[in-house]
Structure 1
Amino acid sequence: MRFTSVVTSSDGVDEQLFTLGETPTDIPGDIPDGIPGVLWTPEGATGTRPLILMGHGGGHHKKAPDIVARAHRFVAECGFAVVAVDVPGHGDRPVHEEYDRIATENQARVAAGAELAPLIADFQALVARRTVPEWRAVLDAVQEVEYVGPGPVGYWGVSLGCGLGLPFVAAEPRVRAAVLGLGGALGPSAEAAARITVPVEFLVQWDDERVPRAQGLALFDALASAEKTLHANPGRHAELPAYELDSAVRFFARHLG
């Protein structure tokens, strides 16, 4: 892990860019290019603290405005560390030819009348085969940072961040709580949900044009967590209410300490 920027501070939150790995032999999972990420911590932090990994949405990146806003709240109000990285083909990552080809083919299928949700689910399952080992490597590296340390871990991700987050949370025993949502119970997503037992706050948009309501509710039902809460709000896929962030802050404060 190599920090690639100086520390910048804003409203009590430090931000620093980093790159993890540069060749396939540097980190697990045969990752052929470095992973660009950003770490937020309380200004002048020392010692161990909880860490939240955030997964961004499709077409976005590690410093998308919604990611930055949530990270600042988690850091400023809870004293947590927060990390986000660009998923393959996004942000500062190079173009991924296979993923681009599949995305283009899926757009053509939808234009020809195919249902969108199954295509999204299959595509996210493909990308997750790469992001799960990447994100586990990111946790390993960030928890080696002196002012983060091996504290409890949470995960936040909706839409693409949910599709990639489900198999990650299912596979990663360090994650103690997760906020997920805007995803459906199709194939690999439902299978991953059935392996998740940590507390989950799950978000559904009632008028979601990308993920049919019934599939979102079915995904919530598929979660094996003994403690899980469904938050359903009116609106389309991208219209998640801002006040859900207030709830996420309380949720992680309760479960990560």
Structure 2
Amino acid sequence: MNFQFTAQTSADGVLTRPFALGDITGVLWSPVTASGPTPLILLGHGGGRDSKAAPMVGRAHRLVASGYSVACIDAPGHGGRPRTATDDQEIAAMQQAMATGEPVGPIVVRYNLHLADRAVPEWIATLDALQELPDLAGVPVGYFGLNMGTAIGVPLLAAEPRITAAVLGIFWYDEVLAKLAGQITVPLEFLLQWDDEHIPRASSLALFDAFASPEKSLHANAGAHKAVPRFEFESAVAFFGRHLPAA
């Protein structure tokens, strides 16, 4: 597959370059005036979002200000990428469950794991292409992803040894994910919302417990599913600073 940047802009010290790798689309953010290679953080977006969503852009700019390069790709069926019949069916099922007050978790888990099967090879291909760039060749790599970003991130971490630190969370326990989590030993920071209206507390705790990482920390905050405190991302930046120090 041919990797190419499709545009380039710069503002506030951040160079923003959307790219395409075959059918894969995404964005690479990097310091405008980097003095050398920078560690790379991969961002996994949540369901219904894409690489250009405001939270992704904000997180990317914060990480670039701390000396990192950051990449995010659009998950299959997200952003401008075409949906399959399975995508349409599962999205309709989720919307119906939410409208009727039925548990949405089983549908989200099933669909997100289906997306992970498609997205993990794309992330690996993207990382291969990015590390062919002179300023990213062989640099340390981390991963940040909540919600669907965790459903994709867990199998990605299990498959990709180049990722050596990760921040995950806000997702359900699942036997498939738990088995993969048992293969993951990199330093890990894990978030959960104590009053999550969708994810039972015991489910989140069980997923955290499944990771084999000897260095892992649990960050539990009061509040609903979408009420993750903004300061948790500052904690993530500090976490990467300990494990993937920028120059």
Settle same-fold status: TM greater than 0.5.
yes
* Shift of residue 115, structure 1, vs aligned partner: 3.2
Match of 1:66 among 40, 55, 61: 55
Q: 2:193: which partner in 1?
A: 205
Q: 2:16: which partner in 1?
A: 15
CA displacement 1:27-62 (0-9 Å, x = unmatched): xxxxxxx11110001103364221111000011110
Q: 1:196: which partner in 2?
A: 184
Question: How is 1:33-72 mapped onto 2 (pairs within 5 angstroms)?
Answer: 34-45=23-34, 47-72=36-61
Q: Say yes or no: does 1:85 pair with 2:87.
A: no
Q: 1:130: which partner in 2?
A: 118
Q: 2:239: which partner in 1?
A: 251
Q: 1:165: which partner in 2?
A: 153
Residues in 2 aligned to 1:105 and 1:98: alpha-carbon distance in whole angstroms: 10
Q: 1:232: which partner in 2?
A: 220
* TM-score, normalised with respect to structure 2: 0.93
RMSD, aligned CA: 1.5
Instruction: Name the aligned partner's letter for residue 117 of structure 2.
Output: R
Q: 2:6: which partner in 1?
A: 4
Query: Is the Cα contact below 8 Å between 1:46 and 1:146 reproduced in 2?
Result: no
Residues in 2 aligned to 1:204 and 1:105: alpha-carbon distance in whole angstroms: 25
Match of 2:209 among 221, 224, 237: 221
Q: 1:29: which partner in 2?
A: none
Q: 1:141: which partner in 2?
A: 129
* TM-score, normalised with respect to structure 1: 0.90
Query: Is the Cα contact below 8 Å between 1:37 and 1:84 reproduced in 2?
Result: yes
Q: 1:25: which partner in 2?
A: none
* Shift of residue 100, structure 1, vs aligned partner: 1.3
Distance 1:164 1:236, change over 3 A: same
Q: Report which stretch shifted further, 110-119 or 43-52.
A: 110-119
Residues in 1 aligned to 2:171 and 2:154: alpha-carbon distance in whole angstroms: 10
In structure 2, stretches of 5+ residues that fail to align are none
SS of equivalent to 1:173: coil
